[in-house]
Amino acid sequence: MHPNLRGNEATGSVTGARRRGCNGNLEALAGAPWPRAASFHKDDYVVQIADSDASLTATHQLVCDRYARRGYRVSARRPGGPHQTTIGVLAGCAIVGTATLQVDSPLGINADAVFRDHVDIYRNEGAAVCEITQFALARGVRSETVLAAVFHYLYILAFHVRQRSHIFIEVNPRHRRFYESVFGFECLTPIRMNPGVNAPAYLLQVRTDHLASTIFHPSDDLEFPRFYSIDEEHRIRKSFAHRYPLRNMRGASHAAGAGDLYYLQHLRNRDAYAPTQRN
């Protein structure tokens, strides 16, 4: 295990979750299976969108458990709405990981509460921004495998579905080096206190085309597993075309917005990194 992943462990364990089946903290899932659309395997795990009341409740419960164990606060209001997409990682019918992609809107993104001055610099330059929030993994998860799948899935959502040019994330100081070395994030700020969770944080960002280079050409010296293959990514993107008809595959028309020029420029940059994929 990468040494910087230890801080990402959450309260529940994978072994316990599998033993409980859909009971315990996952009772909300009983009798309410997730839709199979946009569902993709990574080793023993399945990554898919949480878009039902049951799945959103269960993913939020995992976040609450993890934050409580670290002594952090978390909003009782679960993610939801047109500007947020939550994904869940399942082992059997137990949720063992989750993250939410929040795209910019008139309401802004969560990072604005503490780091708006830095996010606005990118907005004013025409960037289309988004943020990864509500990220949690259960104890016992093979962190590298799940992280690779989660961040590749989030990249597809951010770049190909939402046409975002920059991804922000607030991280605890002990996790900063990991995100910089593995995913290519850049630290933008000194440590600031986030009163919403009662914890210190850095603000990091990565361009989506740069994240593509990390996904398709990961550094061998990091001992980090491969992400989804280019064919697997193509199938994931194809599944999203049915869910998001206005924001789908490469080359399709997309809604006009401030980030359009960034998106087209970064699409060219991204394709310079990515292997040729089948049409």
Predicted TM-score (pTM) of this structure: 0.76
Q: Could you state, in order of their start, the residue ranges of all structural domains in the chain?
A: 3-273
Higher local confidence (pLDDT), 97 or 32? 97
How does residue 229 score in pLDDT terms, banded at 50, 70 and 90?
Answer: confident
The residues, any chain, with a CB within 8 Å of residue 251's CB and separated by 6 or more, are none
- Report d(CA 266, CA 56) in Å as an integer: 32
Where does the chain have alpha helices with state H?
14-20, 53-70, 112-124, 143-155, 176-183, 208-216, 230-243, 260-273
The tokens describing 203, both together, are: 């603000």
- Report d(CA 160, CA 215) in Å as an integer: 14
CB neighbourhood size of 41 (10 A): 13
Looking at residue 26, its amino acid is: L
pLDDT tens per residue across span 198-215: 899 999 999 998 888 878
Looking at residue 25, its amino acid is: N
Topology (CATH) of 3-273? Aminopeptidase (3.40.630)
Higher local confidence (pLDDT), 248 or 212? 212
The residues, any chain, with a CB within 8 Å of residue 201's CB and separated by 6 or more, are 114, 170, 171, 172, 173, 191, 192, 193, 194
